[in-house]
Structure 1
Amino acid sequence: MLALNANITLAQALNAPEAPQTVDASGKLQFYRFADVNVQVAGQIKDVLFAVGDAVQEGQLVMEISPAIRANQMDSNRAQMARLRAELADQQAQTDFAELQFKRQTQLKAQNATRDESVESSRMNLSSARARVDAINAQIQQLEATLKSDEESSRHKQVLAPLSGTVVAVNARPGQTVSIGQQGLPLMRIADLSQMTVQARVAEVDVTRLKRGMTANFQTPGYPGRTWSGKLRQVLLVPADGTAEQGKQTFYNVLFEVDNPEQELMSGMTAKVQFIIAQPKSALLSPAKPVAPVDAQ
């Protein structure tokens, strides 16, 4: 019986599955695809149509702005443009007349039928008329630029969602004054929660063992006992912030995505990650046959 038990124990040991070779790391979940909503025109927020947690579609109206450019100001600029164009037409007619006068005086001078003073006077009148035309044209160009800017501002009073997803942050409120390129928090952030990114910090000694496409498994404290998987996408080539300094260990950020169809995973969750370096070959051994005891002769 001793020989039989010894053989069974040996067979069980030989058939025990080998553990995969892994690199362990800690990480955080973050949004894989998101976009911030900001304004393209200065003004005042009139209405915010969505709150945190709401689903939106790309191109959907999410916010309305009352532009700083008022309608009466645009009307005033258009009226000024009409006056300038009428003034330009009148001045152009005066310039044409001045050109005729100058040509006539030039011809008379060639015939010695006019004085030098008259020729110079007509030349000056023509130069002055042309200068006034140039000045009016410059005013028209400047006003055209202003009108174009006003019209652009008027068109951008509706703020649209840049992508389909879920509103994850709102920092805008009705009545708030906003400007183009303002600093600080985005007015709204929209994220596609169907997929998340895990950013893991891997020690320098292990990062060279990682390859693109290898399997990465992780668990998070929020869901004990559950495991998610993804494929390694990228190893960032610069050290992680706060590492690689004098006296500190160097770590590198490694990224991979995980599907999140039920939107259970959230940005900022902690991830305990295992990168699978190599899977053991399943060598299924047949159970060892017990050795029959030899009868004593």
Structure 2
Amino acid sequence: MNNEKDGARRPTRLAATALMLALTADIALAQAPDSAEATPVAAAPALPPPAMEVKLDTVTVQRGDLLQTVDAIGKLQFHRFADVSPQVAGQIKDVLFAVGDAVQEGKLLIEITPAVRAESSRAQMARLRAELADQQAQTDFAELQFKRQTQLKAQNATREESVESSRMNLSSARARVDAINAQIQQLEATLKFDEESRRHKQVLAPLSGTVVAVNARAGQTVNIGQPGLPLMRIADLSQLTVQARVAEVDITRLKRGMTANFQTPGYPGRTWSGKLRQVLPVPADGTGEQGKETFYNVLFEVDNPQQELMSGMTTQVQFIVAQAKDALLLPANLLGRRDAGGLYQVHVLNADGSIVARTVKIGLRTVLQAQVLSGLEAGEQVLAGPVPAPAPQPKPLAPAGAP
């Protein structure tokens, strides 16, 4: 029974298989293109990927002012000042001004009580005049004695010894008169000096300005020409002097009258100017010895009408050696090496993206910038980095059917 059943099922499976094969063939024929219209195509070669766009670093040529300078460090100091010293010996009675006070020329600053010695000098003068009168009388008497002895000698009425004695007495009397007159003259000079000194018991301001130092106090004893600090110092603060220390390698570039600009930490962003007045011809203290670098002091004045600047302030000074106004400027680090003709080569990026080489002539140059005299125009873009390599070109397609 089973064999009969298996025999009946086998034709059915074969028919199903044949039907599925026929359907598959029909679908393949329906999807295949017309053999008459199909054309064989050669395989395309692989192209290199398109070159990526590179962003170039450029600098724009611009106009501006260029300064060639010598830099130095300096200090502000007084330009015009006067020290007040005693002109009479005595004791300070009063000090009328303190540091920072403004004074006018001729104003009373210090009052001194002179040492008392004029009265004793006058008493000595009176004594000398009395001695002179007495000695003059003795001289007159000696002259009479000498005349009488001379007359008696002519009459042979006296001895020679008497005549010579009278002559000696007269000479001695006259010498004593001369000595007393000399003492009187010396004492008169002393009295005149004392009287002059008494008129200087008031110490007056020698100029208009500001009191910047006081070394006097009430009760202090002073003498004429005494060593040490002055009693008072007065300075005109409307103008100060900048003393800058310039290195030996730069000092020969400086000339009298050139402009000097400076800044000070006390006023950030502000600049003051002056004209170089003097280069001191001797090295600055403490330089040029035992292998030390040599520096020289350079002086110039600056107006200070508002008295904002003060003595002792530190200054960063720039002496302008040369300058170019409204010049074409290019960063100095883009120039590279100079050729035999003194020119430089740079690369310019054109508006269409092409890069061309340019030869430029340079004028003034500093560490940061250079003046372009020819070869570039304002607004042009100069490459700041290396010139990029050209992008690789794609290979042409092989013709169809080529092996």
TM normalised by structure 2 equals 0.65
**CA deviation map 1:168-187 (0-9, x unaligned):** 11111101111222222221
Kept in 1, the 8 Å contact 2:103–2:211? The answer is yes
Distance across 1 between alignment mates of 2:120 and 2:263: 64
1:63 is aligned to 110
Distance across 2 between alignment mates of 1:286 and 1:249: 43
2:181 is aligned to 137
**CA deviation map 1:203-251 (0-9, x unaligned):** 0001100111111111101111111111111111001000011211010
Q: CA deviation at 1:18?
A: 4.8
Q: Which amino acid aligns with 1:17?
A: G
1:235 is aligned to 279
Distance across 1 between alignment mates of 2:120 and 2:226: 29
SS in 1 for 2:286: coil
Could you tell which deviates more after superposition, 217-226 or 94-103?
Answer: 94-103
SS in 2 for 1:169: strand
SS in 2 for 1:244: coil
**CA deviation map 1:150-185 (0-9, x unaligned):** 222212211111111100111111011112222222
Q: CA deviation at 1:105?
A: 0.9
Could you tell which deviates more after superposition, 232-241 or 97-106?
Answer: 97-106
Distance across 1 between alignment mates of 2:378 and 2:289: 54
Structure (1 or 2) with the larger CA radius of gyration: 2
Matched, 1:164 2:211: no
Gap runs ≥5 in structure 1: 1-5, 289-297
Pick one of 20, 23, 30 that aligns with 2:77.
30
2:32 is aligned to none
**CA deviation map 1:42-68 (0-9, x unaligned):** 211111111111111112111111112
Kept in 1, the 8 Å contact 2:79–2:301? The answer is yes
SS in 2 for 1:81: helix
Distance across 2 between alignment mates of 1:259 and 1:117: 88
SS in 2 for 1:125: helix
Distance across 1 between alignment mates of 2:90 and 2:123: 24
Distance across 1 between alignment mates of 2:327 and 2:270: 28
Pick one of 288, 293, 299 that aligns with 1:255.
299
- Structure with greater helix share of residues: 1
Distance across 1 between alignment mates of 2:228 and 2:126: 42
Q: CA deviation at 1:127?
A: 2.3
Q: CA deviation at 1:286?
A: 6.5
Pick one of 78, 86, 96 that aligns with 2:130.
86
1:153 is aligned to 197
Structure showing greater relative contact order (alpha-carbon pairs closer than 8 Å, 6 or more residues apart): 1
Q: CA deviation at 1:198?
A: 0.4
TM normalised by structure 1 equals 0.87
Q: Which amino acid aligns with 1:279?
A: Q
Aligned residue runs from structure 1 range 90-239, under 5 A: 90-239=134-283
Q: Which amino acid aligns with 2:179?
A: A
1:264 is aligned to 308
SS in 2 for 1:17: strand
SS in 1 for 2:326: coil
Could you tell which deviates more after superposition, 83-92 or 170-179?
Answer: 83-92
Distance across 2 between alignment mates of 1:287 and 1:142: 90
**CA deviation map 1:120-166 (0-9, x unaligned):** 33223212321221232132123223212322221221111111110
Pick one of 80, 84, 91 that aligns with 1:44.
91
Could you tell which deviates more after superposition, 98-107 or 139-148?
Answer: 139-148
SS in 2 for 1:102: helix
Distance across 1 between alignment mates of 2:127 and 2:244: 66
Distance across 1 between alignment mates of 2:107 and 2:222: 20
Kept in 1, the 8 Å contact 2:110–2:204? The answer is yes
Q: Which amino acid aligns with 2:284?
A: A
Runs (4 or more) in structure 1 with deviation over 4 Å come to: 284-288
Gap runs ≥5 in structure 2: 1-55, 329-376, 381-403
Q: Which amino acid aligns with 2:164?
A: E
Matched, 1:274 2:321: no
Distance across 2 between alignment mates of 1:179 and 1:51: 22
Distance across 1 between alignment mates of 2:320 and 2:247: 15
SS in 2 for 1:65: strand
Distance across 1 between alignment mates of 2:197 and 2:179: 27
Could you tell which deviates more after superposition, 112-121 or 208-217?
Answer: 112-121
CA-atom RMSD in angstroms: 2.0
Distance across 1 between alignment mates of 2:262 and 2:76: 11
Distance across 1 between alignment mates of 2:320 and 2:100: 35
Q: CA deviation at 1:81?
A: 1.4
Q: Quick one: structure 1 residues 134 and 18, their matched pair in 2 at CA, closer, same or farther if it must change by over 3 Å?
A: closer
2:63 is aligned to 16
Distance across 1 between alignment mates of 2:65 and 2:293: 31
Percent identity (aligned): 84
